[in-house]
Amino acid sequence: MRIFSGNSNRQLALAIAQSLDQRLGEMTCSRFPDGEIKVQIHDDVRGADVFIIQSTHTNEFLMETLIIADAMKRASAARITCVLPYYGYARQDRKHDGRVPITAKLVANLFTTAGIDRVLAVDLHAIQIQGFFDIQMDHLSALPVLVDYLKQDDLENPVVLSPDTGSIKVADKTAKLLGANLAIIDKRRTGDSQTEVANVIGEVKNCDVVIMDDMISTAGSMVNAIVTARERGARRVIPVTSHPILCGSAYERLSAVNLDELVVSDTIPLKRRFADLPITVLSVAPLLGEAIHRIHTNRSVSSLII
């Protein structure tokens, strides 16, 4: 087994390697003067079972993934597994309008073209994206890690609030794991990063409200949900997400709502400017380490899937 990391989430890759008593493979992933990506693998990978750990939350990191995989293939790796703590471009997963692409499928095709043999992903934006890959795919969730943490807190009248109808499934799963009720915000999008709340289905008054979304991008949806829950009399509000993309106005928006705590996983590293916000980061490294071990030894990963 050989574990390699691109530049997207080296800290998580190191933690995964450590959990497996492995070292990260030696590789240079730098840039040519014009910005093109330059990769050279320094370890011998001929005949090896290679795992590339890389979140694809930017175009650069997606391109790095493809180029690293190509280098592995040309260096005669026996099998290349791409471990995707976060799979980007997943939100465009159907033609919701005329003349738009399906990027979730396009990127899956690019992975295959680059020589990737199998994928291990965490919390895909929509579970059916599994079927967009014509290669073997294992799909895990950060939810057990997030829920175990929430269970340590004595939540009173816990309710899991879905910030929009698209996140109902993940919120419902969280509610079931927590033994909590479910509430839903009927969110209306007014622009790419602008949303407004239309309605709330379910009761949040005097409840400890866990707001669960698969990702926080510009934080518009999450902040709307936080404000709504408070306005409707929530006792405490705990926003939770698997993927803290945190881009655009996320910092300003989250700073403005005076958070008690935001709970995230480490599928995407936090940018330095978020250090002064009360963010709890929980690691998916043990989960991914265990899955990698089972894939390498040809053992079932079913018990890790919720």
Burial of 22 (C-beta count, 10 Å sphere; 0-12/13-18/19+): middle
**Residue 164 interacts with ligand R5P (CB under 6 A): yes or no:** yes
Residue among 49 and 123 whose Cβ is closer to ligand R5P: 123
Q: Is 25 in the site for ligand R5P (CB under 6 A)?
A: no
Amino acid at 77: A
Binding mask 102-121 for ligand R5P (x = CB under 6 A): --------------------
Q: Tell whether residue 123 is a contact of ligand R5P (CB under 6 A).
A: no
Residues 6+ apart with CB under 8 A from 135: 111, 112, 116, 117, 118, 119
DSSP result, 64-120: HHHHHHHHHHHTT-SEEEEEESS-TT-S--S--STT---HHHHHHHHHHHHT--EEE
The minimum distance between CB 34 and ligand R5P, in angstroms, equals 32
CA distances from 179 to 71, 162, 176 (A): 47, 15, 5
Q: Residue 214 or residue 266: which is nearer to ligand R5P going by CB? A: 214
Q: Does residue 226 bind ligand R5P (CB under 6 A)?
A: no
Nearer to ligand R5P, 159 or 219 (CB): 219
Cα 132 to Cα 219: distance, rounded to the nearest angstrom:
28
Site string for ligand R5P, 178-217 (x = CB under 6 A): ---------------x-x-----------------xxxxx
- Rounded to a whole number of angstroms, the minimum distance from the CB of residue 277 to ligand R5P is 15
Residue among 199, 195, 229 at smallest CA distance from 212: 229
Rank residues 2 and 187 by Cβ distance to ligand R5P and give the closer one: 187
- Per rule CB under 6 A, is residue 143 in the interface with ligand R5P? no
**147 contact partners, CB below 8 Å, separation of at least 6:** 174, 177, 178
Copy the structure tokens of residue 269.
Answer: 């590293």
- Active centre residues (catalytic): 187
Binding ligand R5P (rule: CB under 6 A), the pick from 221, 228, 242, 283 is 221
Question: Residue 247 Cβ, how far from ligand R5P at the closest point, in Å?
Answer: 8
Question: Residue 81 or residue 228: which is nearer to ligand R5P going by CB?
Answer: 228
Residue by residue, DSSP assigns 168-236 as: HHHHHHHHHHHT-EEEEEEEEE-SSS-EEEEEEES--TTSEEEEEEEEESSSHHHHHHHHHHHHTT-SE
Radius of gyration of the chain measured on its C-alpha atoms: 20
The nearest distance, CB 250 to ligand R5P, in angstroms, is 7
Kindly give the interhelix angle for 285-296 and 10-19, rounded to the nearest 10 degrees: 60
- Using an 8 Å Cβ cutoff, are 184 and 162 in contact? yes
In terms of CB distance, is 49 or 164 closer to ligand R5P? 164
Based on the shown chain and the rule CB under 6 A, indicate whether residue 220 belongs to the binding site for ligand R5P. Answer: yes
Q: How far is the CB of 148 from ligand R5P (least distance, A)?
A: 22
Work out how close the CB of 120 gets to ligand R5P at its nearest, in angstroms, rounded to a whole number: 21
Among 175, 219, 234, 264, binds ligand R5P (CB under 6 A): 219
Residues near ligand R5P (CB under 6 A), total: 16
In the complex, which residues of this chain contact ligand R5P (CB under 6 A)?
A: 163-164, 166-167, 193, 195, 213-222
